[in-house]
Structure 1
Amino acid sequence: MIEKKIRKHLSITRTRLNQKKELEKISKYKNSTLQKVVEAVSTVLNSNYKEEDRQAFQNCENYRTELLQDETLISYQIFGSDKTAMVKDICKNAASSKKWCEFLYFLSKKTAPSLILEIGTNLGISGCYVLKSIQNSPQAQFVTMEGLSQLCEISGDQFATMAPVSKYDIREGLFDATFPQLLKEDVHFDLLFIDGNHQKEPTIKYFKALKDKIKSPAIFVFDDINWSHEMKEAWDLLKRDSSVNFTIDLYKQGIVILDKQETEKNVQFNLHLGY
C-alpha cells in the first residue's frame, strides 16, 4: 500500500514538473475542442471564476452539505446484495469532489454541448454542476443513468429545484437493461461522463457502443482511470483506439476527444489538475 502511494505521488510530481512544457506542446495543436478542454483545466487550476460561477458552485455545495448530514439508509438489493449504506457515507466516499465537479462544469460550459450523458448518477452532485453549466443554453439537455432507485429519487428531487424537468432525464434501472435501450434511441451526445462501473470490460464496452451515438466532435470523460490495474488497462486501450484523436491523462480522470475533422490520431498528453 505504501509503495503504491509512493508511485502515485512520484507520477503526479513528474507530471506537475513537466506541466508547462506539456501545455506548450498542446498549444501547437489548433484543434478547437482540445483547446477548450485545456481552457477548462486552466480555469480550475487558477480558480479563474466569475461571480455567477461561484454562486452556482455554492448552490451545488449546499446540497452536498445537506447530503453529508443525511442518515437515510440506502439498499443495494437490486444488485443482489444485502449491503446498506447511509446517504452521508455514500456522499463522503463516492461523490465527485468539488474540484472535479468544477472541471466538469467548465468543460460543459466552454464546449457548449447540446446533449450530455452521465453513466453513474449517484446522489446527483456532479449532475447539479452539469445542470448549472447548461442553465443558459435553452437547447442543451442532460441524461443520467443510475441503478439504485433511492438515489434516483434523491437526485431527482434536487434537480427539480434547479432546472425544469425538460432539461434532464434520469434513467433508473440496472445498466444491463437501460444501456441497451439507450442505444436504440435516436440520440447523439457530445459530452459523455463515464463513472458507473470501475471495471475494464464494461468501460471498454460503453466506449465502443457509444461511439455510434455521438456527434463530432465529442468528449468522453472517464473517471478513476487509475483506480485499479483493470482501469489502467482500460485507459491504455482507450488511448490507442483507432478512432481517438487526443487524450489527456489527468491521473484521476481521462479525457478522450473524437473529432472526424481532425487528422491527428492518438496524440497523448498528461496534465495535473488535482488528487
Structure 2
Amino acid sequence: MQYFKFLIRATNQHGVHSPFVYNLVTLCFYDKKKYSEYAKIETYKAQLIKTNTALQITDLGSGSQFTTSNTRQVKQIAKQSGASLKHAKLLFRLARYFQFKHSLELGTSLGISTQALALGNTNSEIISIEGCPEISAFTSENLKQHTINNVTVKTGDFAEVIPEQNQNTFDFVLFDGNHNKTATLHYFELLLPKIHNDTVFVFDDIYWSKDMTEAWEHIKNHPKVKVTIDTFQYGFVFFRKEQVKEHFSIRL
C-alpha cells in the first residue's frame, strides 16, 4: 500500500524545478554509464552469497524481519538484509558525484554499501559502525581482502560510538542500522552538530515500519532540513541554506 501511494506521488527528473535536484537526478540517480567498479560491487556481493561461515549475532537494533535465530550464515544475511546491487550502485554513484571526503555509516553489516561508497571516492575516509562484534570483525577483514583500504569499521552501540568521533563535520552519513523511530531520531540529533551546508544524510528503509515512516516525516519537518528526496527505499536529506524548503518523491 505504501509503495502504491509512493508511485502515485512520485515523478522523474521532468517534474523537478530545482536545478540542484534536477542535476542530482539526471547526472547521478539516472546515470546509465557502466562503471568498471560495478564489477567489483557485483563480485563482492556474489562471494558473500556463497559464504557459509556462521556468525553469532548480537542485534542492538530492531532485528531481522526474516529470522529470530542468534546464529546466521553470511550467505543468509547477504540475501536477506544486504543492500541490493541496484542500491549499492546508486550509493557508488552518489559518492562519486559528490566526492565525499569524510563519511559515516551507521550499520556496516557485511559491507555491501560500505564497499560501494569506498569505491565511489577512493580518496575518502569512511567510518562505519557495526553493533555486532562478529559481523564487525568478519566485514573489516573481508573489506581488506577486497583491497578496500579507506574504511575503518568500529564496533559498538551507535549512541555511544557517535559522540566519540573526533571528526568535526561529515560530508555524508548513511543511517542503516537501527530501524526504530526513537533511536533513528536520536542519531539524527546527535549528528546535526556535525553537518555543514553541503552534508548529505541518507536514511535506509524509510517505509520499513510505521515507526520508521513517522521518523522520516519528523526529519522532513525539522527546521534545519531544506530539501528531501524520497525514493521509497532511501530518504535523502540536504541542509543547503540557499534552497527553498521542498520535498520530492523520485522513482529510481
Is this a same-fold pair by TM over 0.5? yes
Q: Tell me: CA distance 1:89–1:162, structure 2 relative to 1, closer, same or farther (3 Å).
A: closer
Secondary structure of 1:142 counterpart: strand
- Which amino acid in structure 2 is aligned with residue 159 of structure 1? L
Structure 1 residue 24 corresponds to structure 2 residue 14: yes
Structure 1 residue 156 corresponds to structure 2 residue 156: no
- Which amino acid in structure 1 is aligned with residue 87 of structure 2? W
Give unpaired runs (5+ residues) of structure 1: 1-6
Give unpaired runs (5+ residues) of structure 2: 61-67
- Which amino acid in structure 2 is aligned with residue 57 of structure 1? Y
1:151 & 1:106 partners in 2: Cα distance? Answer: 26
2:148 & 2:44 partners in 1: Cα distance? Answer: 18
- Which amino acid in structure 2 is aligned with residue 132 of structure 1? L
1:9 deviation in Å?
Answer: 4.3
| Deviations 1:71-92, CA, capped at 9 Å, x for gaps | 211112475x971111111111
Q: 2:244 is matched with which residue: 261, 264, 267?
A: 264
TM-score by structure 2 length? 0.89
| Deviations 1:196-228, CA, capped at 9 Å, x for gaps | 110001111111111111222111000000000
TM-score by structure 1 length? 0.82
- Structure showing the higher helix proportion among its residues: 1
Contact 1:75 1:82 in 2 (8 A): no
Q: How does 1:140-179 map to 2 (within 5 A)?
A: 140-163=124-147, 165=149, 167-179=150-162
Larger radius of gyration: 1
Structure 1 residue 134 corresponds to structure 2 residue 117: no
Number of the residue aligned with 2:29? 41
Aligned residues between the structures: 245
1:37 deviation in Å?
Answer: 3.1
2:142 & 2:77 partners in 1: Cα distance? Answer: 16
Of 121-130 and 81-90, deviating more is 81-90
Number of the residue aligned with 2:65? none
Number of the residue aligned with 2:64? none
Contact 1:132 1:162 in 2 (8 A): no
Q: 2:193 is matched with which residue: 209, 212, 230?
A: 212
Secondary structure of 1:117 counterpart: strand
1:25 & 1:65 partners in 2: Cα distance? Answer: 36
